[in-house]
Structure 1
């Protein structure tokens, strides 16, 4: 049976990772960004309309005011709408969704390995601390990549403009002066990343303490005079 100290560290690591999964799962269903743009009919110099795009991972809402013509607000499914536009926004958004799924898988693996170590003494293999390091490190790295990719897709690859134009259908519009506010779903990636790193730090702290204790137990024998060791 593992020591109380080992059980505490690994079980607490599992708790931290469980909380991080809860935050990530809630974040995946929440709003990720809102983009506000000035709008005008294509070729018209008067930008007297506005387009507000609320975007989550799988669903969104477009609210157009005089953009062009009458006001119009409608919901849409993000991935099917992006399929109509194609290009980099579709690829990057699909990449974000896939990486989030991998984050959930890695965090689940970290929980299972932590629970296993909390009730047993496995060897130093992928089912030991190495497994926790690997799974939690992947979770942290992937979430950091998602933070960057989503911002790039929103500000560089113009996913918001493509979606507004696609929803407008045959009505060609010009959009400018985009202002973006990141939503709760995106922001929850940050505590998810931090909790994944804390899970790693907790296991590292235990391993360091266990190694130090082991070295202290071996030191009297190593420092003993050779004459005593001969007997």
Structure 2
């Protein structure tokens, strides 16, 4: 049976990871970015694209002749465009799924260690370090890929054009604002690293205690040890 200290650390690690999964799950259902543009030749025309990971929304006001609001599946709409935007968005989706899987693995390993004493294998501290490290690194890559997709590509303009049709429209003065779904990745990464820190603190203390117990034998005179 594990010690109470080990139970506390591993249970706390599982709790931190569970909270991070909850935050990421909420992020999947809310907006990640909103891009607004001025629509010309219409003097007062504007267009806006609101993006979540799975569902987006297009809003147009006199762009070019009338307005309207329309929801659309993001990945399916990007597939019609092709190119870099759909590739980057596909990468983001895959990495988010992997983050959830590795976080789930970390929770299972932490709970297993809170009720048993496995050896130093993937079911021990190594498993927690590996799963949470991968989750944090992949989430950081998601941050970079998503912001690059909305800022460095013409994804928003091309999405607006698909709803306008064949009418020639110039979209200028693009302004992009990142939303809560995107920023929730930051506490997700923080909590994932916290889960690693909790296990490292316990593991380091256990290693230090083990060394202190071995030291009297190592420092004893050879005559006493032979006796």
TM-score bracket for the superposition, by shorter chain length:
over 0.9
User: Hey, what does 2:11 align to over in structure 1?
Assistant: 11
User: Hey, what does 1:125 align to over in structure 2?
Assistant: 121
* Length-normalised TM-score, structure 2: 0.96
Is 1:20 aligned to 2:20, yes or no?
yes
CA deviations 1:21-58 (Å, max 9, x no partner) are 00000001100011111111xxx4x6532111111111
User: Hey, what does 1:68 align to over in structure 2?
Assistant: 64
Q: Classify the secondary structure of the residue corresponding to 2:38.
A: strand
* Unmatched 5+ stretches in structure 1: none
Q: CA deviation at 1:228?
A: 2.3
Rounded to whole Å, the distance in 2 between the matches of 1:55 and 1:63 is: 12
Q: CA deviation at 1:171?
A: 2.3
Q: CA RMSD in A?
A: 1.2
User: Hey, what does 2:194 align to over in structure 1?
Assistant: 198
Q: 1:181 aligns with which of 177, 181, 196?
A: 177
Q: CA deviation at 1:173?
A: 1.8
User: Hey, what does 2:39 align to over in structure 1?
Assistant: 39
Rounded to whole Å, the distance in 2 between the matches of 1:47 and 1:97 is: 37
Q: 1:166 aligns with which of 122, 146, 162?
A: 162
User: Hey, what does 2:133 align to over in structure 1?
Assistant: 137
Rounded to whole Å, the distance in 2 between the matches of 1:47 and 1:102 is: 45
Rounded to whole Å, the distance in 1 between the matches of 2:91 and 2:163 is: 22
Rounded to whole Å, the distance in 2 between the matches of 1:195 and 1:208 is: 20
Alignment of 1:83-162 (within 5 A): 83-162=79-158
User: Hey, what does 1:30 align to over in structure 2?
Assistant: 30
Rounded to whole Å, the distance in 1 between the matches of 2:208 and 2:164 is: 66
Q: CA deviation at 1:167?
A: 1.7
Q: Classify the secondary structure of the residue corresponding to 2:120.
A: coil
Q: Classify the secondary structure of the residue corresponding to 2:32.
A: strand
* Length-normalised TM-score, structure 1: 0.95
Q: How many residues align?
A: 227
Q: 1:77 aligns with which of 67, 73, 79?
A: 73
Rounded to whole Å, the distance in 2 between the matches of 1:75 and 1:171 is: 21
User: Post-superposition, which runs of at least 4 consecutive aligned residues in structure 1 deviate over 3 A?
Assistant: none
Q: CA deviation at 1:226?
A: 2.5
Q: Classify the secondary structure of the residue corresponding to 2:28.
A: helix
CA deviations 1:92-113 (Å, max 9, x no partner) are 1111111101111000000001
